[in-house]
Amino acid sequence: MTETTLRDTVVATADDLFYRRGIQAVGMDELRTEAGVSLKRLYREFPSKDAIVLAVLDRRTRGWRQCLTARVDVATTPQDKLLAIYDYIIEWTAEETFRGCGFINTFGELGSVNPDVAEAVRAHKEGFAEYVAELTAQAGLDPAVAPQLVLLAEGAQTMAAISPDGAWAAAARDAAKALIATSLRPA
């Protein structure tokens, strides 16, 4: 196994285990067993569990951007590009494996005790907010609408994680659509 493949395997395995069970519930011994690497090799690649957590957050950021951008890029109008964010969230939150936002879950577990994790989560969320602000500007909307759209998206993820009702993401899309339509009207 190449070093890149080994790292990717460990990070993918950690991502799966952490997302399903929580970071603190997964020990390094379990992670190395699931990833199929020796503990010595695991620690040679990652000097600490914190390093693995940060690698998982980096992987999740890249995956989120890729999936979200792919969905947004197929939309034809600037307004539809904004609504595509919610279409993606609707699909994602409906997945059987959905356990909430991995960044919020990680922040909840480690954000108060690990400044590097807190910063990585903040950077991800700020990146999403910047992306929404860009799309909002392209749609010709007031910049004040962007944080409102972000809150709708973030709230949909949170409510979908804690409630068995799958309608939260659709409700957020409806609210975003109304907000966009209202913001397009001349003053």
14 belongs to a structural domain: yes
Over 90: is that where the pLDDT of 187 sits?
no
23/43 same-domain check: yes
* pLDDT (0 to 100) of residue 165: 77
Number of domains in the chain: 2
pTM listed for this prediction: 0.93
Cα–Cα distance for residue pair 143/149, rounded to 1 Å:
11
State how far the alpha carbon of 116 is from the alpha carbons of 102, 110, 120, 123, in Å: 16, 9, 6, 10
Written as six digits, the tokens of 159 are: 């409510």
Q: Which two tokens stand for residue 128?
A: 């999403």
Q: Centre a 10 Å sphere on the Cβ of residue 175 and count the other Cβ atoms it contains.
A: 17
Q: Are residues 40 and 120 in the same domain?
A: no
pLDDT per residue as tens digits for the range 100-118: 999 999 999 999 999 999 9
Question: Token pair for residue 153?
Answer: 């998206």
Nearest to 28 by CA among 1, 8, 48, 5: 48
Q: How many residues does the chain have?
A: 187
**C-alpha span between 62 and 159 (Å, rounded):** 24
Q: What is the pLDDT of residues 41-73, one digit of tens each?
A: 999 999 999 999 999 999 999 999 999 999 999
* CATH (domain of 88): 1.10.357.10
Kindly state whether residue 53 falls inside one of the protein's structural domains.
no
Which domain does 93 fall in, by range?
Answer: 58-184
DSSP 6: H
Q: What percent of the chain has pLDDT over 70?
A: 96
Cβ distance 179 to 155 under 8 Å? no
